[in-house]
Chain A
Amino acid sequence: GQQVMQIPQYQHVQEGEDFTTYCNSSTTLSNIQWYKQRPGGHPVFLIQLVKSGEVKKQKRLTFQFGEAKKNSSLHITATQTTDVGTYFCAVDAGNNRKLIWGLGTSLAVNP
């Protein structure tokens, strides 16, 4: 079945450093969603990308969808302690009824 690889699994940064997580698929994706889960919390929707080459920004967060629609990235500029958590990508499984989730990237930020 379809799988999505998310890297890295863990990232530890100093506050103020940048952070990037990548989501890669072997098949063309119709769309991709990004979620953030704080420690002890539940996943919270961040954004959905649909178009080839799409770039969307939310304050210090930049989301990109690859030209071939097989990969995506989430970049955080100048991390803050409030960015701590696990970032997940989720993609349509192809039958339009299920999401396939990456294993997530856990971000730790040293103050």
Chain B
Amino acid sequence: NAGVTQTPKFQVLKTGQSMTLQCAQDMNHEYMSWYRQDPGMGLRLIHYSVGAGITDQGEVPNGYNVSRSTTEDFPLRLLSAAPSQTSVYFCASSYSNDSPLHFGNGTRLTVT
């Protein structure tokens, strides 16, 4: 099992550009989520999904979109990148919404 796979590992964007962070898991987990991690701020939930076709907002959803068309994939889209979105992004999945989370290796995003 590959676990949770995130791509890319690093990305540099200019302000206003759009991009999609990819996340895939092969553990047949129902619950998937996206976090951003900034120094001194800990982990903040952006969006989450409790199953295919179902998504909901987390703590800091503005500027991000998600979709969950399959159980395996949960992409995060930045519609118009802003410098405030410079961060490390983690995708995580779990068997259910109160089970331990399995994290991907993260994407380090810089917006200039």
Contact = CB atoms under 8 A, between A and B. Distances in A.
B43 interface: yes
Interface residue tally of chain B, by bracket? Answer: 20 to 34
A43 B43 contact: yes
Interface of A: 30-31, 33, 35, 41-45, 48, 88, 90, 92, 96-99, 101-104
B100 A45 contact: yes
A48 B100 contact: yes
Interface in B61-99: 90, 92, 97-98
Contacts of A101: 42-44
A96 B43 contact: no
A43 B89 CA distance: 12
Contact of A42 (B45, B56, B105): B105
Nearest to B88: A42
